Amino acid sequence: MPNLPKRKVGIISCSGEELDWGTVSRVATRLVLERLRQEQTVTLCLPLFLAGGKDERAFARFYPTIAVDGCPKLCAAKATAAYSAEPAARVVVSEIAARYPELKLEARRRLGPGGMTLARKVAEEIAARVDEILGSPPQARTVRLNEDAAAEAAPVVACSCQSGGLPVTMVEVAGSPVAIVALGPIMEQIAALNGMADEELRDKLLQTVKVYNAIPAEQEAQYAEALWREFAARRAQR
């Protein structure tokens, strides 16, 4: 018989940089990928997914995925459903955090003992969903993460996939240089939209950039102007 590829589950986690729970979702995803279910899971990068990454969208279309969202906005779950297929399972950090009010986070970038314990519990929840999807035997679901393993995963990265391959573009916003992640791929995606007025494209550009770049609400107008300037310049070169 031919050796069929092993079935795996894709995990796509929240990319909200401005949310504590977003950080927890990414740390928990790493714990599953690196400690709990290394052989059964792969990660999908939400920024690349939204920017039109063909590999991410193709995987989510044909294989089961778990959306790990930080808050009730459910950005990861909604993106998966909109561009590929309904996720096989959803895990929401805020809902799990509500069950453990004693677990307090130190800061958005440094979770501390309470935050890491919460990340461990979220990771175990994700692992349980993986087992259910793959039909793993009951004993496989009892694997738990010890405190030492959780502590080793404490460093936080911007993207749970740790791809390091997302391009960064420096854009001048209100006279100051600002780093915008994945602006190039986003502008390519926006440029491919046909039949939309410039005002609609401008808003779409801003909203897509906001998905994984923290933009202060009071500066949205300045960012919108700067992003559109970059987009218009690139479009003129085509």
pLDDT for position 2: 40
pLDDT tens string 21-33? 888 888 888 889 8
Give start and end residues of each alpha helix (H) in 108-152: 112-134, 147-152
Q: Side by side, which strands form the sheet with 65-69? A: 41-44, 9-13, 65-69, 89-92
Which of 136-140, 158-162, 193-197 is the most confident on average? 193-197
Helix/strand number for the chain, H first, E second: 10, 6
The pTM of this model reads 0.60
pLDDT for position 86: 86
- Residue 172 has which token pair? 């001048």
pLDDT tens string 124-135? 999 999 999 888
Share of the chain above pLDDT 90, in %: 25
Domain 9-152, CATH class in plain words: alpha beta
Q: How far is CA 44 from CA 9, 17, 33, 67, in A?
A: 10, 17, 11, 10
Residue 165: its H or E element: none
What is the C-alpha to C-alpha distance for residues 191 and 223, in angstroms, rounded to an integer?
18
Domain ranges (residues) in the chain: 9-152, 168-237
Question: In DSSP terms, which residues pair with 91 in a beta bridge?
Answer: 68
Q: Is the pLDDT of residue 164 over 60?
A: no
Is-contact 28 81, C-beta < 8 A? Answer: no
Pairing of strands 176-181, 168-173: antiparallel
Average pLDDT, the chain: 78
Is-contact 32 123, C-beta < 8 A? Answer: yes
Backbone dihedral region of 209: left (phi > 0), alpha (psi from -120 to 50 degrees) or beta? Answer: alpha
pLDDT for position 167: 59
Write the burial class of residue 178 (CB in 10 Å: 0-12 exposed, 13-18 middle, 19+ buried).
middle
Total Cβ atoms within 10 A of residue 200: 12
Is-contact 64 126, C-beta < 8 A? Answer: no
Confidence of residue 75 (pLDDT cuts 50, 70, 90): confident
Half-sphere exposure of 128 (CA within 13 A, CB side): 11
